[in-house]
Each structure stands twice: as structure tokens, then as C-alpha cells.
Structure 1
Amino acid sequence: MSTQFSIGIIDIGSNSIRLVIYEINSHGAYRVVSEHKESARLSERIGPDGCLHNKDIQLVVPILTHYSMLCKAHEVKTVRAVATAAIRNAANSAEIVRTLEEQTGLRIEVLSGKEEARYGFLGVMNAIDIQDGFIIDIGGGSTEVTLFRGRSVAESFSFPFGAVNTTRQFMRSGTLAELEVAGIRRMVEEAVASQPWIRKSPNLPMIGLGGGIRTLGKMSQKKHKYSLPLAHNYVLKAGDLDYFVNLLPAMALEKRKKIDGLSKDRADIIIPGLIILDTIMKAANSSSFITSGAGLRDGLLHETLNPKQPLKADVLEASIENLLMLHPNGAVAHVRHVDNLAMKLYDALIIDPAQQPRSKRYLHAAAKLYRIGASVHYYQYAKHTQYMITQAHIDGFSHREIIVCSLIASFKTKSRTHAQALVFKDILAESDENMIMKLGLLLQLAIALDSSETQPVQDVEVSISGKTLTLKLHCIHNPAHELKAIDSIAKDFEKGSGLKLKVQAVAFSRT
């Protein structure tokens, strides 16, 4: 088993410079333990000669020096520092890198546009379960557009405009007149015309990366009073992009800063970024827009951890396993066994044929994760589990599915679930509450079948006759705890499922 270590990713972007420190525990599970951001606006500082001059380079040195010290404080094993469009496109790129490396001790990789797009693709593909679509990464000095089919890159291109350098070129007064908006659109349309593949794949979802994209998602969520404030995998409400593109250009900067969800440090560059996005989405005739909280830095992490196979085969399963191994709490053997029993029960009963196999995956995720709340406090762990699943999120599930899973994992009673579901009534479907109750009862039964956490019930045969559900338990030792636990939930199970429980325990045979 590997020991715990940390990886630091430094992203020297055209707008901001970020450090993310990931901790990888002894089980191989990873999480963010520290994140820092400094605004640098490097694209604004490029001179008329195309160079980033020494006085501006020196502004970056203390930021990188501080990040290097933070990595040492966190005992980071591996640091990867990458530079994107502003430094890549500068006429004195090699000089900038040499100066920064000499004065900070960091080794800096200058990413090509293709590499930047590839890392963004890796970050998205390992965080969203989607087969086909576009990825758009609007940075400060460039915009990368990638078309993927079957979770593989089909086409990719890096355009030399982003939110910062477009603001500098077109937005001189703090607002944008119609003529200036038209100028940005014309620039983007002419660039898109050089890449005809963008127009040849209509009706695909577009996934957006970058701080401006996340800001758009936050503004949309605030506008609709969205009940789950997760930026990752948020599907933008229909008409919201048009709404903000039409609202913001003529609005004074100080007034713009007061819009809910719009951070003050992006208020001046958000409009050109949104116009770039809107123009490319219209050219691609995209069916929907999804914001991603994962991108370039996550892609770099995955390649650093698994250089031979950075792309996960099953996004959902990898995310469930990662979350479980972040919070094992000594019950891993138990929850894996509960999961096996829950799957056997589901296959015999098929709770919701209309949603199969999705509802089976909800139960599977809930069974594996129902105990993670014990890492906060064992008592009332169900409450902590429900919160942790919704806030940590599960990659591969939509927002609605994350909520469904959290309520199955924490299920206790129908009335309690109803009160919890009301909080998310803007996201859940009307039929979800009934499904959550049925799958929650099934999970409670599977948990009861290993209530001693010693796995006496090695297998279970399930049969239904009329209104009776018979469980034949094949046991390797006395299942007294399990029989008592089943008896304690039998009444609630019968009331919720309409099935009377009948249990028979027999010795387990290996022949």
C-alpha cells in the first residue's frame, strides 16, 4: 500500500496565477487540501512589441516564490508549474521562463495550445460522464475549443483571444457599445470560419471551463435561487446566456459588481468572455451548456498520477471509490458487503424498471457511501453523509442524481425524506421521492443483513410469492445481530414496500 503524499499544480494563466495542492492518501484517493489564486492580468501587460518586460515579470516572481514555499510547508512531493497563452505567445517567452526559473527555483512548462486543450479535456472527461460534445476553455489570453466523440478528442484548436486581451482591445470605457459588441462577434466568427469542423457537429452539449464560465454558472444559480450551489456539472438554464449578454455590456462597472454571483475581480472582463462564448455556441449550434469545475489543473493531476492511463474507464465508479477511500473509517469491508447484498436485492425486486439501470447505480453509490459521515462524527452520521455527498459531489452523476443518492444513503423514514426533499424541490422530479423511499428501504435491509459488520450472511436467495418476500440467508456464523436488525425494520419495510418479510437462515455451503 502506498504512503500519503501531495502534488502541487501551479497554473500561470493569462488572467490569474493559481496553486492547487492535492493530497493523495495511503489508499490512493485524492482531494484538494489547499488552493490559492492571485490576479496577474499578464495579457494586459504585454507591450506593443509583444514582450512581457522585466518590471512585469518581476510582479510574478513573489507569487511563484510564495507558492513554492506553500508547497514546501505542505511537504509536496511533486510540483508541476505550467504557463499558458500569455507567456506562450509573448515574443520573449524563453526569456520570461528563464528569469522565473532562476529566481523561483521552479521548473516551468510552457504548454502549447494543443497541450492546454488536452489537459482541459482530461480534466473534464474524468469528472463528467458524457460521450460526445464540445469543450470550450476561455482563458485570459486564449480560447481552446475541443470536439470529442466517444470520449476521445476528434478536433481541437486554440484561438489567440480570451477574456483579458479582448477586453483590452475592445472595451476601453468600462462598458461596451453595440458597435464594439459587433466587433468582438465579427472577430470570433472570422476565427471560427477557419475551423469548419465547429459548425459540422450541431446539437451537441458544450462544456465550459475557466473562471469566467464558473462565474456565469454562479450568476445563473443566484438568478434562479438554485438550491444546490455546486458549480461543477451545472446545466445553464435556457435563455440565461442571452440574458446576461444583453444585460451587462451597457451596465456601469460599479453596478455590475453588485450582481449576485459576479465576483468583483471579474466584473471588468466578464462581458467579452460571455460574447466569445455566445458567438462560438451559436456557430456550433450547441444543444445545451454545462459548467465544469474540473479542467486543466485536474488534467495535469491525472496525468501526473497515471501517466500511462490518465483517462478513467468509468467516471462514476472512480468517483464513488475515491470518496469512499477518502473516508474509510474502518468499515470498508462492511460497506462493500452491504453493496453486494443490495445489488442482489435490487436484481430480485427491480424497484423501478423505468429507470433501470440508473436507479441501480443510485443504490450502488448510496450503499458504498452511506457511512462516510462517520468521519465527521459517528452519532448522526446519516445527516453528515447526506451533506457530504451533496457538497463533495459525485462525478458522473447530475445534480439531481447527486441529491437522490444522498437521500437514499441517509434514508431513515418517509417523513424525514419528504422534509429533506422539499429543500431541493426545484431540482428533483415529482417521482423521485417515491423512488428514494423504496431504494432507501432496500438499503436499510441490506445494512441489516450485515448489522454486526462481520459478514455472517455470505449470500442471500430472494423470492417473492404474492405479498411475501422470502430471504434465505446463507451464513458462515451465527446471524443473531442480523436477525434482530431485520426484525426491527420489518414493519417499516412492509409499510413502504407492501411486502411482508420472511427470513430463513441456513449454513453456508462452499460446494
Structure 2
Amino acid sequence: MADSPTTKKQATRKKGVKKRSAKSPATKKSGRVRRSEVVAVIDIGAISIRMAVAEIHAGGAVRQLDSLIQPVELGRDSFNQRFLTRGTIEKSVEILRRYRRTLLEYGIESTDRVRVVATSAVREASNRLAFIDRVYVATGLDVEVMDEAEVNRITFMGVMPHLHSAAFEDPRKIVVVEMGGGSTELLVIRGGNVLHSESFRLGALRLQETLRGSRATASARRGLLESHIKRTLMRMADQVRVDGPIHLVALGGDMRFAGHCLLPDWDGVSLTRLDTADLRAFADKVLRMDEDQIVKQYGASFLDAQTLGPALLTYSLLTERFSLDEVYLCEANLRDGLLRDMASGGDWTSEFRDQTIRSARALGRRFDYDESYANSVAELSRRLFTELADEHKLSQRFEVLLYVASLLHEIGLFINVQSNHKHAFYIIRNSELFGLSKSEKNLVGLIARYYRRAFPQPSHEVYRNLNRDDRVAVAKAAALLRLAIALNDTRSGRIREIRCLREEKRLVIVVPDVEDVSLERLAMQKASGLFQEIFGVPVLLRTTSTR
């Protein structure tokens, strides 16, 4: 097809892939795939718009069918003037229109089977809403501007299968770094647990733009790049907290390109080692070349040639910073993670939920919280959430948000007893919680903020600015948290098992194996007001021995 976008470097469309009827797949809109279906993800980045088309099978397996890329200068506009020009917007729209035509070849007519995301270039543009609206009007595609936390979550989903398959034999920290056009993502992992995640405003295109118009020699230009890079690498090293040998896993198109140049036998799928001496020599060579020379000698696209030198210099300096003899290369990318997310139906996997909860516990320890008490309340919240699923009808995502809020609802005590619920809200909103976006941290903070005192009010600005669904969800989750706290009023953790029953016009919480619940019953009378206001029924606490 004449207007099907590809590049010289990009893998061409796979031959023999059968185009599918739009009527053949059967899925639930927000659930797991019931049988195979073809879906697509589109990544609007700083220097290109990329699309991956894949077949997702009922068991969650993903088979990529097609991969396309087209250059666009969103980052150049955004990083230099914080504004996307009309010409750049219209070029992006035209690319997305072509992609829509390609999707029709695969039987993808509904936008429900396409996820479109934008990263730092669109996120930092002052007219990002105009960009999103223009794309929607022209193509029907709904662009999701991902914040740093969501990018880290998707990166985690994309890279973890590769780390599991590599089965590192020693307990070293694994440092995963992905440099894009506008930002660099960092994940620090040990034993499968994420110790730290962060996004830094260090990107290959952003670095290249610092040299635009410079007439300095190649040596002087390299010196300028190094000074910019090393400032960020110092901050990254502080977060890695090197306490022994580490494994460095490098993601990103520039490192994949270097890997294929230096390791011609690499299958491009498995995790592979690259000697850092070879990487540094290659980076030195590329930095002495101009873009035309890179294109001619290595067969790179002009798009790749623009960012290759700054990116390879960054990874090279990173290996020096950590005194590494080797670096691991991985083909995982943002689109892989997005496809895996779609394969799970958008549900948070148990592995991801565990990572988020570990992050919350780490935050609680920083603020000297009562961990035993917090764990008891969180477990009771989870049981209430499960027992009352037919009542609250909240998604499984809110089970995690409620659990995290339950763990952290008292961290405001570190600042002051008075108004500690408000302090907890502030701490949660402004802290790093792995995998939770800014909006999700707002929800967690609000649930914790309403664990005591006033009910949610329109006069509370952050609550007022939520959409209706989120306002209702916060109120429901806060009501469940108040019940969980009442059940642990003695702070002994003696109540662990509960059952919830509907009797006439009241909710009965049955507590087995505990004879005297008089203290908890008094606490429940005070704490159940929000639940009654939201759900319209009073709450009664009963033991199995009560008649």
C-alpha cells in the first residue's frame, strides 16, 4: 500500500499474516480476552510515532504482527518552546490517519481495540489539550497523556518477562535504564522487587537540542554533552544506592541499534551481554561522525542518526559511573508493556499489586508508622472490599488503592497529631508510590484524608475537582476504611475474619471466634455514619455467639 509508513531500519511487515474480520474477535470491553483478537498500540513520542499490531490470545499470550514508525518533531517543538506548532500537529494527524487505514487491513475498526499514548513531548506542551482534541476530531483516537509513574509501570510490565527468563544467578540489584527522546526512566530491582522508580528529564533529543546552532568542535560539543549528562547521572547514582555489584539492563532504540551493529548474531529477543569497552568505542566513533555519515555507514534512518550519539554517550558514562565491564541489552519497549497491559484486560497483575504495596510500606517506614496496626487495618479493608463487592461495585483497581490508603492513613502523625488526616493526604500526594499515577495518588490521599472527622465535602477543592465516578469511589472506599479502623479499635489485630450479611435494612458484620466486641461495637457506631450516608443502611456488629 503506497501510504503504509515504514523506515529503512524498521522491521518490515511480516509476510503471510492473515488479515482478520472485524467481527471475528469476541472480547469484553474491560475484561480479559475470551478468544484471540487483534489489537494495536500507538506510542506518540518525542521523535516518532510508532505503532504495534498484535494478536492477543485467551491465555494472555501476545504475538506481534506488525510494527510501524514515522518521524515527527514533537519533541523539538515542545522542548524548545513548550508549544506544538500547527504544522507539527497536522503532520502527526496525517500519520495517525495512515495508521487508521492500516488498522482497517487487520479488521480493527473500533477504537476500543487501540490504545494511544503520548509521553514527555506532548505532556510538556502548553497546548497539549489542543493536540489531543485535534487528533480526536480527525481520527477518532483518544490520546492518553501518560505521566511518569504510568510510564514506569508499563516499562516494568514490558521488561519483567525478560528478567524472569534471564534468571540471574546472583542477588545483585538490577538497574533498568531506558533513554528516550525526552526522558530517561529508571527502575531499581532486587529479587523481583522494585526498590525505586523515577523519571529524569534527560533525553537524547533534549540533549541534541542543547547543541543546536553550536559551532564548537566535536571535542567541545562532546564536553558540553558530558556536563549535562553527568549532572543527571549523579542523581541517578544516589537513587541506585550502590551497595555492591549491579547488573545494568539498557532499553531504548539507540541501544538496540548499537546491539545489532556490535552483536550481529543477537536474535533481538533474548537478554544479551555487551562488553562496555565495545560500547564506549562505538559511542566514540559515532560522536565523531555527522548524521549523514551515520546514515551512510550503518544504514540508520536519519531519525536514528539524530539521537544515536547523545544516547550512546549517556549509556557509556553510566557504565563508567557504576564501574561495569558489561551491560545487558533488551528488546523490551513501551509498546511491549502496553500490549501486555491490554492482554491483562487493564487489570493490575498480582505482581504489580505486590510492588505497589511494597512501595507503600516503604513510604510508611520513612514516616515511622505503626506497621503492625496498619497491616491489620489494610487486611480488614481488603476483606470488607471482597465481602461487600455487590454493594460497592468498585473495580479491582480500587482494592489496591484502598489497601494502600489503609496502610498509610496514619502517616500524618509523623508531622502532628492534630489534623493528621490532612497531613497524610499531603504526604501521599507528594510522595513516590511505584506504579501510581498522580491522579491515583490523589485518590489514595483522599481516601486516607477521610478516615476520620469530616465526610467528603464539595468545599474540599481536590475532591470537588474529581469526576463523578471518582468522587463516589473515594466516598465508598473511605466508608470501608472507617469500618476497618473500627474493627481494629483495640489496635490488637485480634479481629481477622469477618462475614458480611444483609438483614432486612441493615448490614451485619459477623466476627467469629471473638466473644467480646463491645469496644469495637462502640467504635462502629461512631465510624459507620459515612457508610450509612453512602449506602443507605446502618451497620451492626455481631459475634457468632450472639443470639
Band the TM-score falls in, shorter-chain normalisation: 0.5 to 0.7
Q: CA deviation at 1:5?
A: 0.7
Question: Contact 1:8–1:78 (CA<8 Å) still a contact in 2?
Answer: yes
Question: Contact 2:277–2:325 (CA<8 Å) still a contact in 1?
Answer: no
Distance 1:36 1:283 in 2: 35
3-state secondary structure, aligned to 1:128: helix
**1:269-308, Cα deviation, whole Å (9 max, x unpaired):** 2101111222233334445311211121111122222244
Please, what is the CA RMSD of the aligned residues? 2.6
User: Does residue 123 of structure 1 match 2:158?
Assistant: yes
Alignment partner, residue 153 of structure 1: 194
Q: Which of 204, 229, 246 lines up with 1:204 in the alignment?
A: 246
- If the length of structure 1 is used for normalisation, what is the TM-score? 0.56
Alignment partner, residue 219 of structure 1: 261
Q: CA deviation at 1:9?
A: 0.6
Going from structure 1 to structure 2, the CA distance change for 1:47 and 1:148 (only over 3 Å counts) comes to closer
Letter in 2 for 1:144: E
Distance 1:203 1:170 in 2: 35
**1:170-199, Cα deviation, whole Å (9 max, x unpaired):** 254699622221222221222233341235
Question: Contact 2:177–2:187 (CA<8 Å) still a contact in 1?
Answer: yes
Distance 2:325 2:245 in 1: 5
Alignment partner, residue 441 of structure 1: none
Alignment partner, residue 210 of structure 2: 169
**1:453-504, Cα deviation, whole Å (9 max, x unpaired):** xxxxxxxxxxxxxxxxxxxxxxxxxxxxxxxxxxxxxxxxxxxxxxxxxxxx
**1:345-370, Cα deviation, whole Å (9 max, x unpaired):** xxxxxxxxxxxxxxxxxxxxxxxxxx
Question: Contact 2:60–2:343 (CA<8 Å) still a contact in 1?
Answer: no
Going from structure 1 to structure 2, the CA distance change for 1:48 and 1:302 (only over 3 Å counts) comes to closer
3-state secondary structure, aligned to 1:257: helix
Q: Which of 185, 190, 193 lines up with 2:231 in the alignment?
A: 190
Q: Which of 284, 296, 313 lines up with 1:246 in the alignment?
A: 284
Alignment partner, residue 180 of structure 1: 221
Structure 2 residue runs without a partner (length 5+): 1-32, 353-547
Alignment partner, residue 266 of structure 1: 304
Distance 1:39 1:311 in 2: 37
Alignment partner, residue 34 of structure 1: 66
Letter in 1 for 2:82: G
Distance 2:318 2:231 in 1: 11
Tell me whether 167-176 or 138-147 shows the greater mean CA deviation: 167-176
Distance 1:281 1:301 in 2: 30
Alignment partner, residue 5 of structure 2: none
Distance 1:168 1:176 in 2: 16
User: Does residue 53 of structure 1 match 2:68?
Assistant: no
Q: CA deviation at 1:114?
A: 2.2
Q: CA deviation at 1:247?
A: 1.5
Question: Contact 2:44–2:117 (CA<8 Å) still a contact in 1?
Answer: yes
Question: Contact 1:121–1:135 (CA<8 Å) still a contact in 2?
Answer: no
**1:203-259, Cα deviation, whole Å (9 max, x unpaired):** 2121122211111101212xxxx4344364221134111101221222243332233
Going from structure 1 to structure 2, the CA distance change for 1:276 and 1:311 (only over 3 Å counts) comes to farther
Letter in 2 for 1:216: A
Question: Contact 1:174–1:252 (CA<8 Å) still a contact in 2?
Answer: no
Going from structure 1 to structure 2, the CA distance change for 1:253 and 1:90 (only over 3 Å counts) comes to same
Question: Contact 1:175–1:253 (CA<8 Å) still a contact in 2?
Answer: no
Distance 2:215 2:278 in 1: 22
User: Does residue 305 of structure 1 match 2:343?
Assistant: yes
Alignment partner, residue 80 of structure 1: 115
Question: Contact 1:11–1:297 (CA<8 Å) still a contact in 2?
Answer: yes
**1:45-94, Cα deviation, whole Å (9 max, x unpaired):** 33743111222111100111222232233123611100011111122222
Question: Contact 2:276–2:316 (CA<8 Å) still a contact in 1?
Answer: no
Distance 1:3 1:104 in 2: 28
Distance 2:52 2:216 in 1: 33
Alignment partner, residue 45 of structure 2: 13
Distance 2:117 2:339 in 1: 12
User: Does residue 142 of structure 1 match 2:183?
Assistant: yes
- If the length of structure 2 is used for normalisation, what is the TM-score? 0.52
Tell me whether 171-180 or 58-67 shows the greater mean CA deviation: 171-180
Question: Contact 2:116–2:141 (CA<8 Å) still a contact in 1?
Answer: yes
Percent same amino acid at aligned positions? Answer: 26
Going from structure 1 to structure 2, the CA distance change for 1:274 and 1:28 (only over 3 Å counts) comes to closer
Question: Contact 1:217–1:231 (CA<8 Å) still a contact in 2?
Answer: no
Q: How many residues align?
A: 309
Alignment partner, residue 110 of structure 1: 145
